[in-house]
Structure 1
């Protein structure tokens, strides 16, 4: 979620690849001034619309929809009414190609400000194997199977701090110092296959509980979700910034 927000924006703004052929690959995408917020937003939306599902191999942009994640885990919080170990593996995140960027602010030549990236996504779906164990409110929960979790009308808000890393003459790279991501959906629905080893009555009751209390459940999971995606985003952005200089990405 957050990782794609920053990644597609940065690559969407660049019309010059490492080999100098991105203008052919990214037809219609201009190289933006680093403080031109409208240009950055337009570039972001252009990439989402035209390349989110295919990726851009020449620039190292992987397909973003579906976005495949090998591992994703939220650990127990003993002080929370949602005290669970929840893990996913080989999960797909779908729906980002329909996202729309709303704001891209804070970019400056000296990278001295916190960068804010905001987008709205009509529907985000997580699909893949899960495992859960713990307690939800006052009831125990356990299960292992396939999950289908849908976030509707979701706002994604990322805050990124960068620092300049000069390398040689006229070459300035960036390094991620900190990244925080807030994910705010208007509704969440949970479908977890094989809860309680397939015991239908227990599974039906738990699904009713978690879907009726979706807001409370998500609020408890939200910090862990934001932290996990922040770590993923930092890893990906460090790779991008280590490869492409600010001079290649922007008109600075």
Structure 2
């Protein structure tokens, strides 16, 4: 439930900017090997420290926006909602890109495709939990930790040329996969710590069933935030200035 961070958008910040650092190779259009090598080099060298010249913040700790996740049927026998605030994500400095395609000299003809993975993406969040199960109503709040193990993503998008050489992202598609989801939800039932332990154990054992409700919502939120962040970058940097 804690995957509404936008760490993926920051992957593209590593190839943005008016000037690359002197220790990083700049690439020609559509040079997939060079783009992949340069992007991974920037993540490795500046992932923990950030690089203001490229609008790249430190990737080891990211603040993401508040949000909500909901499952079940409000009018049925089971319904639940998570209200998430003070949400921080860790581990995006360990992202490795495995494929970059696209970035045509004519941005209107570009069909960009990016593949990448991180061994672990963790988050900490304050939550409010509302739930209805038959006649039982639950209203709880606390802190939660989450770990998406072997997180993988593929994103595809196109460019719409704008004035003065700038471009805008459109038609962005995103697919995410994980091998396992581990959660530690604290204080879910303040008056019954044993029940909190039982619920955590059930969630971690049956995470695939639990994930079915949230994955479409998480992906949709990521797509919106991803597009917004990318457009912010490309609206400040002319497309041609990204390449040799």
**TM range, smaller chain:** 0.7 to 0.9
- Contact 1:13/1:29 (<8 A) preserved: no
Change (3 A) 1:159 1:219: farther
What's 2:15 paired with?
Answer: 13
Greater mean deviation of Cα atoms: 192-201 or 32-41: 192-201
Q: CA offsets, 1:47-73, max 9 Å, x none? A: 211112221123322222211113132
Q: CA offsets, 1:148-177, max 9 Å, x none? A: 00011111222222211132xxxx111011
What's 2:48 paired with?
Answer: 53
Answering whether residue 31 of structure 2 is matched by residue 32 of structure 1, we say no
Change (3 A) 1:49 1:216: same
TM-score, normalised relative to structure 1: 0.84
- Contact 2:59/2:92 (<8 A) preserved: yes
Q: CA offsets, 1:211-239, max 9 Å, x none? A: 11111111221111111111111121111
What's 1:232 paired with?
Answer: 225
After superposition, residues 32-181 of structure 1 pair within 5 angstroms as 32-76=27-71, 78=73, 83-111=79-107, 112-134=109-131, 142-167=139-164, 172-181=165-174
Q: CA offsets, 1:18-46, max 9 Å, x none? A: xxxx34xx232122122011111112211
Q: CA offsets, 1:62-112, max 9 Å, x none? A: 222211113132234539998432232121111111111011113222333
Unaligned runs of 5+ in 2: none
Identify which of 216, 220, 236 aligns with 1:223: 216
Q: Provide the C-alpha distance between the structure 1 equivalents of 2:77 and 2:182, rounded to a whole number of angstroms.
A: 19
SS of 1:209's equivalent in the other structure is helix
Unaligned runs of 5+ in 1: none
Change (3 A) 1:250 1:234: same
What's 1:250 paired with?
Answer: 243
Runs of 4+ in 1 over 6 A off after TM superposition: 79-82
- Contact 1:73/1:87 (<8 A) preserved: yes
Change (3 A) 1:106 1:207: same
Q: Provide the C-alpha distance between the structure 1 equivalents of 2:49 and 2:191, rounded to a whole number of angstroms.
A: 37
C-alpha RMSD of matched pairs (Å): 2.7
Q: Provide the C-alpha distance between the structure 2 equivalents of 1:51 and 1:116, rounded to a whole number of angstroms.
A: 23
Q: Provide the C-alpha distance between the structure 2 equivalents of 1:240 and 1:224, rounded to a whole number of angstroms.
A: 25
TM-score, normalised relative to structure 2: 0.86
- Contact 1:48/1:96 (<8 A) preserved: no
